[in-house]
Amino acid sequence: PGLGRRFAERKRCADLECSMLMCRGKAMRDFKGPDCRFVNFKKGEAVYVYYKLIGESTELWAGSVGSDFGYFPKDLLEINHNYSNEELELPTDETDFVCF
């Protein structure tokens, strides 16, 4: 993905705050992100998805591994549990793309 300030203008979430889990999956291979906005994981780790970017960066989802949160390529995840079938389309926020 292009690593500009914002990856996408819109996102899909399970609730208005994007704080509810959408789904959980298992990492199909190791991933090390290009910067601190990405979450790193090892093959076999559980990854929890909070929102999915839509628009230009449909390949990126946001989620957590342990206490770490960030973006990752969705095609590295094998979904094994859906928490919500509800998907709200919301605008992204500038704070969605900063490092903490």
| Domain ranges within the chain, ordered by starting residue | 10-88
The 3-state DSSP class for residue 9 equals coil
Q: Is the pTM of this model over 0.85?
A: yes
Q: Write out pLDDT tens, residues 4-25.
A: 577 889 999 999 999 999 999 9
- Tell me which CATH code domain 10-88 carries: 2.30.30.40
| φ, ψ (nearest 5 deg) of residue 94 | -55, -35
pLDDT tens digits, residue range 17-76?
999 999 999 999 999 999 999 999 999 999 999 999 998 767 999 999 999 999 999 999
Identify the band that residue 3 occupies on the pLDDT scale cut at 50, 70 and 90.
very low
CA distance 37 to 82: 24
Neighbours of 25 (CB within 10 A): 20
| 3-state secondary structure at position 76 | helix
